[in-house]
Amino acid sequence: MRTSPALRRKLISAAAVSAALLTAASTASAVAADSAETVSPASAVPAAQTEAAPGTPAERLIVGYKSGATEATSNSAAEADAAAKGKEAGEDVDFQRRLGTGAALVDLGADLTRADVADVVAHYQADPQVAYVVPDRLNKPKADPNDTEYAKQWDLYESTAGMNVPGAWTTSTGTGVTVAVIDTGYVAHTDLAANIVGGYDFIADTAVSVDGNGRDSNPADPGDYYAANECGSGIPASNSSWHGTHVAGTIAAVTNNNKGVAGIAYGAKISPVRVLGKCGGYDSDIIDAITWASGGTVSGVPANSNVAKVINMSLGGDGACTSATQSAITAAVNRGTTVVVAAGNESDNVANHSPGNCSNVISVAATNRAGAKASYSNYGSLVDISAPGGQTSTGTANGILSTLNSGTKTASSESYAYYQGTSMATPHIAGLVALMKSANSALTPAQIESAIKTNARALPGACSGGCGAGLADAAKTVAAVRGSGGGSTGGTTFSSTTAVAVPDNGAAIESSIAVSGRSGSAPSALAVGVNITHTYRGDLVIGLVAPDGTVYPLKAASSSDSADNVNTTYTVDASGETANGTWKLRVQDTAAQDTGTLNSWQLTF
């Protein structure tokens, strides 16, 4: 074995390697010039494979041998094999060292042409004892964004309670995706302007719009301040919030522009859709906004030329999800738009607050800087996922920093400010959805929700009452949907589409799914998708029955949950169960006067 001087090596373009020698599909993403990702070849693949990232430099090859090969454990055998392969190809090929995975690093020598390298790789590929051969790619230090306030954005990168966003940026920045922010509109801000596309002002009531007119194509935020008692007796005065602009900045503030903050999906575009004005906004305007933003038709409103694949609704009110709101959300999801909503800030069960309690949404709870449920955040079984929402009561810098305006009533100079709330947690997930859709445009809303839940990590802090699948992990989730490893897309889905009537105030019904072809235990985040038509879902008790008879409660009866239908995905820790076998969904109507049907359900492993 010998070590070649650095000067005698020639950097081989991995793009050339890919074009000339690598016949298998590439499985690694390109590394930008100012960033890097850790590249780890799979420890076992079914046949000799190769991979490369276009444009990434490489100067040597990494050769993985099958476990039974002598070269897999013997340095001398690997060295002899390198020499033999070089001789066969007419080149100088040298074994350098053994990697920690057991693979061999071989040097290709100086001044090899594309054809020369192709010949060497072809000889390795032809060897039945070789599992894979890949270029030894050159990585560079990963640079943080140069935005001047980025260091204050703990919610993106801190290991304790951040959402691991920088690790996703080597794969996706949200390019090609439009996010509709259904909120107070947009106040001009130079750290957002480049990522703003056309939206709409849906506020029909001029007393709410305070911009002098009703609906129009200008979603500018004129301010939503109000005087004491103006929005109800005993309600104190409030300055303008510029809420929609703060939310938009978290999702897609311009990044690497040497100013301000970084956006989670800074390659995405924001369509501001105004529905909230003085004292709030009406369901009717929000319903039309959901419809229009997702590509539906609204009478009297021009067709949307910036159809959103993600809707962010950091808003809410008390009570059940009405059939009217649910209908708009379901239609949006059926058009392929993922709807992300705030669970609410009442420190109450989200079942009592809409739209966080609607079906077909991703309902988001808020965590603080320690990774525990924020004191104000709603909770409950209808919460799907948690994300950083901040808690300024423990220090202003423990809030979420984003774009704002300094005006207390009307717009003044642009600024940045720390806010807290599930309103701040929600755009973290909307931004993540944009990253996912950019990485894999074929993803459906159901697949997106499942992947976010499956790849979440346990909350670092406490949560009582239910905080969904855990704290969202951007890097792991994006890697999973891109197929670059490190996460799970949710695996195989088993479904039952046989409709079963649910009798009024009667015995429980069961529907079965036979699971086979899996190995070992069920996952710790088994996704259970349920579609039930029912005229008062509060009557329903739903449980998952494992093959051994263990019952996992999914939904309890609730006299305060008067909405129609159950169309959502639950997450169950089924790691104590064997995956294969007959699983059952058990549904019972426990009160009189309402009936329904279990239309379908599914398990995603």
Known catalytic residues are 183, 243, 423
Strand partners, 58: 12, 137
Q: Strand order of the sheet with strand 551-555?
A: 509-515, 581-589, 540-545, 551-555
Contacts with 531 (C-beta within 8 Å, 6 or more apart), sequence order: 566, 567, 598, 599, 600, 601
Residue 353 CA: distances (Å) to CA of 317, 345, 357, 361, 410: 6, 10, 6, 13, 30
User: Helix, strand or coil for residue 133?
Assistant: strand
Longest dimension (CA), the chain: 90
Q: E strands within 461-525?
A: 493-496, 500-502, 509-515
Cα 175 to Cα 434: distance, rounded to the nearest angstrom: 8
Do 255 and 422 touch, CB atoms closer than 8 A?
no
How many secondary structure helices (H) and strands (E) does the chain include? Answer: 12, 25
Question: How far apart are alpha carbons 147 and 140 in whole angstroms?
Answer: 20
- Whether 269 contacts 306, CB under 8 Å: yes
Write out the two tokens for 63. Answer: 């050769």
Burial level of 469, CB count in 10 A (0-12/13-18/19+)? buried
**Which of 556-575 are b and which e, b meaning 16 or more Cβ less than 10 Å from the residue's Cβ?**
eebeebbbbbbbbbbbbebe
Question: Pick from 33, 23, 9, 19: which is nearest to 142 by CA?
Answer: 33
* Assigned token pair, 298: 């609204």
User: Token pair for residue 294?
Assistant: 């997702």
Angle at the Cα of 179 (from 276 to 306), degrees rounded to 5?
95
3-state secondary structure 398-464: HCEEEEEECCCCCCCCEEEEEECCHHHHHHHHHHHHHHHHHHCCCCCHHHHHHHHHHCCECCCCCCC
Residue 90 corresponds to which amino acid? G
> Which residues, 6+ apart, have CB-to-CB distance to 552 below 8 Å?
543, 544, 545, 546, 572, 574
Please state, in angstroms and rounded to a whole number, the distance separating the CA atoms of residues 471 and 373: 10
Instruction: Output the DSSP codes for 304-344.
Output: PSS--SEEEE---EESPPPHHHHHHHHHHHHTT-EEEEE--
Bridge-based pairing of strands 414-419 and 493-496 is: unpaired
- Angle of the 323-334 helix axis to the 283-293 helix axis, nearest 10: 10
320 CB-near residues (< 8 Å, 6+ apart):
354, 357, 560, 561, 562, 563
